[in-house]
Structure 1
């Protein structure tokens, strides 16, 4: 058994504290963006909400753009993990895919604070040239991952004609429901749409 040096013993707690600080900043950034929008979400506001100094925030994220693109990406990854956790053995139970449960879970991705935060980031990127390329790249990556998870959970065979477009249509529909939910609680109508989409998927994707 080797001897751990005092330097190594000290390094591990520092790394843990650094990771915890970074996570607090990311979570605070998403919350600020969802609540205040781009204009009201400065590095100082996020740092105060996270309980860290502005200098500590800039140590982890040198620019405002670094902070907010990383924040949305972080929470998107967390939501993907949460989506998979709902179906730890895939969506199939006894040989049958519960497509309504999958559709409902996918729609839920677009009705929470992540979607609201991402929307503020998209709007800002449409007016901020230095932000646009980063957000475009981020959204493309998140979109590909969400599509891949949807295909897997739905048990869809993308080699069949029209299946890829059907899955993408589902995700586009889910995004539209998320937009509708920004102004009013759209839960009753959303529930009916989810039921109808699940039925359509049963017809188009097979069992």
Structure 2
């Protein structure tokens, strides 16, 4: 009986140790992704090295490279994280009027998540290794965002012009996000968003 007790205890021990180790690994990865997003938004591509991100995340450079072997891995991972956060934020929006949906979409495109994504777009335009990965990722993000926007707006894309109305809204929101990079565009943006809400209502019927 004593041998059985000993065997049972030793077999459960690795599992007990293994779970917290996995949890720590996930937490480290999460901190690195959040730090990478913050660095991109604040310092741009040039100022966002693996060392800077690791320091901000409170981990060693070696730990960062264990999760993300290259700089490109780290920052494409960060943009994928941004994309997931953007989609989650969209999906979490309560069912409401189209004007509120338009405003919420614009808020996403003028916030820090989109600012970080923009920095990676700029970097990808000059970095051969980065460009195909970011292009593929953003194409997927664009399709997902469009799909969620269609659902939130209750758009019937079988109607002529409906698809273009939704896409025009998303293009406008991206443009406002770009304008917001240099100056606080809040006052002018409020009027533009109100006008676009009226156009979307008219275009979707």
Provide the C-alpha distance between the structure 1 equivalents of 2:139 and 2:160, rounded to a whole number of angstroms. Answer: 23
Any residues of structure 2 matched to 1:33-182 within 5 Å, and which?
Answer: 33-87=40-94, 90-91=95-96, 98-182=97-181
SS in 2 for 1:130: coil
Provide the C-alpha distance between the structure 1 equivalents of 2:202 and 2:42, rounded to a whole number of angstroms. Answer: 40
Cα shift at 1:86:
2.3
**Structure 1: runs of 5+ lacking an equivalent:** 92-97
* 1:20 paired residue number: 27
SS in 2 for 1:86: coil
Provide the C-alpha distance between the structure 2 equivalents of 1:120 and 1:202, rounded to a whole number of angstroms. Answer: 32
Provide the C-alpha distance between the structure 1 equivalents of 2:27 and 2:124, rounded to a whole number of angstroms. Answer: 28
CA RMSD of aligned residues (A): 1.4
CA-to-partner distance for each residue in 1:173-196, whole Å, 9 max, x for gaps? 000011111111111111111111
Cα shift at 1:79:
2.2
Task: Please identify runs of 4+ aligned residues in structure 1 that moved more than 3 A.
Answer: none
Q: Higher helix fraction: Structure 1 or Structure 2? A: 2
Provide the C-alpha distance between the structure 2 equivalents of 1:165 and 1:55, rounded to a whole number of angstroms. Answer: 47
Of 75-84 and 30-39, more deviation after overlay is shown by 75-84
CA contact (8 A) 2:155 2:204 kept: yes
Indicate the structure (1 or 2) with the bigger Cα radius of gyration: 2
- TM-score, scaled to structure 1: 0.91
Question: How many pairs are equivalent?
Answer: 197
* 1:95 paired residue number: none
SS in 2 for 1:167: helix
- TM-score, scaled to structure 2: 0.92
Of 58-67 and 78-87, more deviation after overlay is shown by 78-87
* 1:32 paired residue number: 39
Provide the C-alpha distance between the structure 1 equivalents of 2:92 and 2:26, rounded to a whole number of angstroms. Answer: 23
